[in-house]
Amino acid sequence: MASGISMDIYLYNMPPEERENLCHILDDNDVWRDLALNHMGYKKTDLQEIKRQMQLGNSPADELLTMWGDQNHTITELFVLLSRMQQYVAMSAIKDLVDRRYHRMIYSGQPDLSALLRNHSLKEKSPVTEEEKRADAHKKCTNGKILNCHQNAISIENNEEQDGDSSQGVDMKNFTDYASTIPKIDYQELVDATHNWSDKNILGKGGFGTVYKGTWKFTAVAIKKIENRGTGNADANKIQMQQSLNELKYLNSCRHDNILPLYGYSVNGDEPCLVYQLMTGGSLEQRLFSGPQSVSLMWTQRINIAKGTARGLQYLHTFKEKPLIHGDIKPANILLDPCCQPRIGDFGLAREGPNADNTAMEVSRVYGTKPYLPTEFMRNRILSTKVDTFSFGVMLFELVTGLRAYDHKRANKFLTDHIIAADKENVSIDQLIDQSCPADADVKKASSMIIQLGRFCIADKPEERPEMVKVLSFFDTICL
């Protein structure tokens, strides 16, 4: 493995025997429900598919692991969450799949029975050892972006400097430095806008904060409250803040119809906040994969979403001398307005690419979501605009097929492999396209063309992938 990359086993790569044993443990007494709602950040409405699987007699824990695994979480992250829940039996079921350094989280968390049997006063406590302190730091570890934060209690690499700004020494004044033209909002206004951060207003939770729905100045907004999740590691908190600063910096400089609008920011309260336009159409991920309770996207809408996303990406890649590479293009980060016009969001992992004289550069760390990342980036840390092109190609496959980028239940788990295998086996477009939406001959022809475009976008060699300007021009040839 290339130096500078720290990786664990992804949840979707958990061996079947360990996964089955773990699911039995989590299914017992509905442990999975506590894990989902109180530790993974899901809401009750997010668990509809799990309830459907339960009605079919399937394991709810298995479906939960699939949902969470699709977000590119790892076994180590799950191990940490189980530690916080004091689920030591479940931890033991997967301990051989995590680094040995984490094993002490099991042993330090369980009571010393021999000590409890001795007639010692509970007030007499032994001094805390350094190892116990480190173990306690593990318990405080939280979820984060892929390859960034879940191992912070053990060690963490220096976050790469971006555009001359280091993640070291980040402080609040950088918010105002990065937001020269964005309104500064009083924190109390956001408290009022969300009914004092009511749980009923929560839209979602991530590794670095919670997003709330609110009404600010009679305008529907989404408010990201950037919360220190208590990783116990100063470097992790700096990385957390740097990613938030990235959003502020790049959304401040990128004004485009297909880029999520940022309305303002707040730094005078308990936590810094970013305020965005509320995308009432939800995310593309929700519209594609939320099951029967979600209104299926029509084919004209899907093509329009693909075209709008391509338009936004080509803008990011060309509006400055150095391209801005998003780095995490996937349906969860494509937000839809009421008319299903797409906006690219979540710029926390965005980086400036090489100048015009170079087409690629080597970076110090891998980031993003594995099923959407090309080999040259995952293995060799080679970053270019073609990383976004690859991710966009995977998303095209999802739009056409209605299938997820990764599904451990498929013969070909990665959707890219599924499409390539289908091509080799001459599988017809009738078998590939999403069956939830009726398709006539024109739709099938357009879908075939989009699948072919996706194949170009995911070419093994980055130089063989088209730039997004060329990808955008392709959509002018599609008529529906």
Can you say whether residue 196 is alpha, beta or left, with left for phi > 0 and alpha for psi between -120 and 50 degrees? left
Name the phi and psi angles at 58, rounded to 5. Answer: -95, 165
Dihedral angle computed from the Cα positions of residues 43, 298, 388 and 143, in that order, rounded to the nearest 10 degrees: 10
Asked whether residue 444 is marked as a ligand-binding residue, the answer is: no
On whether the CB atoms of residues 439 and 450 are closer than 8 A, the answer is no
User: Residue 219 forms beta bridges with which residues?
Assistant: 216
Cβ neighbours for 97, distance < 8 A, ≥ 6 positions apart: 9, 14, 15, 18, 75
What distance lies between CA 446 and its chain's CA centroid?
29
Total Cβ atoms within 10 A of residue 283: 22
pTM greater than 0.85 (yes/no): no
Mean pLDDT of 378-396: 95
**pLDDT of 128 over the 60 cut:** no
Q: What is the pLDDT of residues 325-364, one digit of tens each?
A: 999 999 989 999 999 999 999 888 889 888 766 688 888 8
pLDDT for position 120 = 41
Mean pLDDT of 199-221: 86
Q: What is the pLDDT of residues 78-107, one digit of tens each?
A: 998 998 888 989 999 999 998 888 888 886
- Pairwise pLDDT comparison (339 vs 73), residue with the higher score: 339
**pLDDT of 53 over the 70 cut:** yes
pLDDT for position 427 = 94
Please give the Cα distance from 124 to 126 (Å, whole number).
7
pLDDT for position 240 = 61
Taking the domain 11-106, which CATH number applies? 1.10.533.10
Mean pLDDT of 21-45: 89
> In 58-163, which ranges are E strands?
none
Tokens 């209690």 found at: 153
**pLDDT of 8 over the 90 cut:** no
Q: Which residues are the active-site residues? A: 328
Q: In what order do the strands lie in the sheet with 219-226?
A: 202-206, 209-216, 219-226, 273-277, 262-266
For the chain, percent of residues with pLDDT exceeding 70 = 78
Domain 283-477, what fold? Transferase(Phosphotransferase); domain 1 (1.10.510)
Considering only CA atoms, give the Rg of the chain.
23
pLDDT for position 52 = 81
> What are the structural domain ranges in the chain?
11-106, 175-277, 283-477
Q: What is the pLDDT of residues 177-196, one digit of tens each?
A: 666 678 899 999 999 999 99
Q: How confident is the model at residue 398 (pLDDT cuts 50, 70, 90)?
A: very high
Asked: is 175-277 a CATH 3.50.50.100 domain? The reply is: no
Task: Provide, for the chain, the percentages of residues in helix, strand and coil under a 3-state DSSP scheme, each rounded to the nearest 5.
Answer: 50, 10, 40
**pLDDT of 35 over the 80 cut:** yes
Dihedral angle computed from the Cα positions of residues 70, 75, 78 and 80, in that order, rounded to the nearest 10 degrees: -150
CA angle 192, 343, 203 (to 5 degrees): 35
On whether the CB atoms of residues 347 and 251 are closer than 8 A, the answer is yes
Which secondary-structure segment (H or E) carries 324? strand 324-325
Query: What is the average pLDDT value for the chain, to the nearest integer?
Result: 81
Tokens 């093509």 found at: 303
Give the DSSP per-residue string, 345-405: ---TT-EE---TT-S-EE-S---S-GGG--HHHHHH-EE-HHHHHHHHHHHHHHHHH---S
Please give the Cα distance from 75 to 14 (Å, whole number).
8
In the chain, the amino acid numbered 144 is G
